[in-house]
Structure 1
């Protein structure tokens, strides 16, 4: 295992290769962006095996990656900026200043550990958190720090490329659009999905919001996670197909089709609720972020750059969730998702506008709550930087809490799903022995 901490070797600030006229204007944050101010940065990265020894390998690679980042930032120019605000005695306006900034941060670091040291342990090693910048930073800190950091960490036999992106500037869809573009430009390809930076505002609002606060402590909290175990469980294509087929076979309403993602989320929800030992009348909920781009009327482009997500919550009691089979739980999730449309999106925005108070990360860490985040549909393993296919997708400390479930594209491809589950140690140990959970994993467990 790793015996040395991560050592920072060098750091740079990277500016866009060129600035368009549009990039010289400020970008005002929309409702979904402002709601994320108390959350952590998005932290995701890819682990690669290092190629055979080559002369000046790392210097050549780093320079090529910095050049690719500069070209990528010409399209994703908000990530080279900083948050800025204008305040009076009653309120303030927050926006992205794309010009008055040293640029995005680029860090080169190293650690005396191996790829096996990262992948072999049953739980994600704590050292992985040091592969990312902005540890414990909240998005509001973007007033004083980079909105993007790309950190390259050299392992003895591997390379980890970790990105930390301010979550008030980008959501998961935007994050992976940036990462995919960086990979494409590194490989010499063009920009296939150019980002759209014009923010969406509800009718009668925008282009800016005045937040009714005068002190940071009125709307910003800093959540520190307790001691947790994080483990990545692998669900194969065959097992997901089996779970989906079983769920739909049990579903009495033949007009309803449960997706494999809904079926998997239902099983995880039930199993975590069971091993937590909740009282029978205790409320339990499964929260799933919805991409609002396609749900708005007219819809927004998938290339919309910014936050366009909304947390959908499905509630029931612990006894009702466990008394019924997982088909019933999947049906409740399916119903919540189907009812989410343009009308419900706009209603949610209108409700938020009544207080204009950012969401607080600690509120999600309820003992009866699980949050299923990210998406296996994001292109993660298609990113290459001269080392072949990544061997793993990993996250940092950002936005981890008890009950967090993160969905990654499966390493084996073909529609498989890697599921990162974060729980307190006692509950994690119980989950690993739960019969229903083990049946869902079958032979796909690591």
Structure 2
């Protein structure tokens, strides 16, 4: 198999899944599986580097804060430059709520009480690429629809709203059906005092915007973007504190099967992380 066999196809070939370790694993499998795997697959005319990390170790911010300095160090070596010491090293001391310390015991005695495995059906996987110019046009359209009052709306919010409307329109659902759009959000700056962006661990929430299919499709894109924008803007320090306190009173395991339904979408992996710089 060559590089062109992979990148020239409209859909991502199913064989690409085998280029990554941890397929089908859940976090608990880290007791007997690797926590981080770098798998190098040799192709006819190149290599494919697949990186897999157990989510118990960290979130997307942590993941890229590991890979970017690692990449910079090796680029310096390749260019015969002096070794680079990253200016912002990861902070590995785990944060715990005041009055609590490690470990926080969970109220479960059997594995089946908190572990569920999802048998994913065979799906078509496609990667859509949006140019800088197309994103600029998208934001201009949103600005025009909202009376040029959306200077703080991010590209991620605009694109998420476009996906939400497009997916729900394609599903042809009843107009009174409730639909959600969930956004993964970084909570580091929402703590009091805030955690440094270098904090290595999981510090995220899944925010939820809710409406009906009718409202989502009958309104313009700018309306959906505003819904997501207000969701993020209104989520502050008190919300994070309340979320943690509720969890401490009733600990539960994050379960995607309960979080996501057939009428909703979830967006993650904002490009605020330097993904392509490596």
TM-score, normalised via structure 1 length: 0.59
Aligned match for 2:34, one of 141, 146, 150: 146
Separation (CA, whole Å) in 1 of partners of 2:29 and 2:20: 16
How far does the alpha carbon of each residue in 1:327-363 deviate from its partner, in whole angstroms, 9 at most, with x for none? 0000000010001111111111122223211111222
How far, CA to CA, are the matches of 2:223 and 2:99 in structure 1?
41
Aligned counterpart for 1:215 among listed residues 110, 125, 128? 110
C-alpha distance in structure 1 between counterparts of 2:270 and 2:87, whole Å: 21
Q: Deviations over 1:23-48 (max 9, x none)?
A: xxxxxxxxxxxxxxxxxxxxxxxxxx
| Distance in 1 separating the partners of 2:152 and 2:63 | 30
Q: Secondary structure at the match of 1:316?
A: strand
Q: Corresponding residue for 1:117?
A: 5
Q: Which runs of 5+ in 2 are unaligned?
A: 78-83
| Structure 1 outlier segments of 4+, above 6 Å | none
- State the partner residue of 1:172: 60
Matched, 1:185 2:65: no
Structure with greater helix share of residues: 2
Conserved? CA contact 1:247–1:258, under 8 Å: no
Contact 1:149 1:164 in 2 (8 A): yes
**What is the CA distance between 1:253 and its match in structure 2?**
7.7
Partner of 1:232: 127
Distance 1:163 1:315 in 2: 34
Q: Which residue of structure 2 lines up, in the alignment, with residue 259 of structure 1?
A: 154
- Asked if structure 1 preserves the Cα contact closer than 8 Å seen for 2:156 and 2:270, the reply is no
Name 1:426's counterpart in structure 2: none
**Separation of aligned partners in 1, 2:164 and 2:207:** 14
TM-score (norm 2): 0.93
Q: CA deviation at 1:258?
A: 2.2
Which of the two has greater strand per residue? 1
Q: Could you say which residue in structure 2 is the equivalent of 1:376? A: 271
Query: Among residues 254, 260, 267, which one is paired with 1:359 in the alignment?
Result: 254
**Alignment coverage as a number of residue pairs:** 271
Please give the alpha-carbon distance, in whole angstroms, between the structure 1 residues aligned to 2:39 and 2:4: 20
- 1:337 aligns with 232
Name structure 1 gaps, 5 residues minimum.
Answer: 1-112, 384-446
CA distance in 2, matches of 1:248, 1:152: 44
Q: Residues 255 and 174 (structure 1 numbering): CA distance in 2 closer, same or farther, change over 3 Å?
A: closer
Q: Is the 8 A contact 1:270 1:321 kept in 2?
A: yes
Deviation for aligned residue 1:323: 0.9
Aligned to 1:134: 22
User: What do the CA deviations read for 1:278-314 (whole angstroms, capped 9, x no partner)?
Assistant: 1111111111100001121211111100101100110
Q: Hey, what's the Cα distance between the residues in 2 that align with 1:376 and 1:137?
A: 25
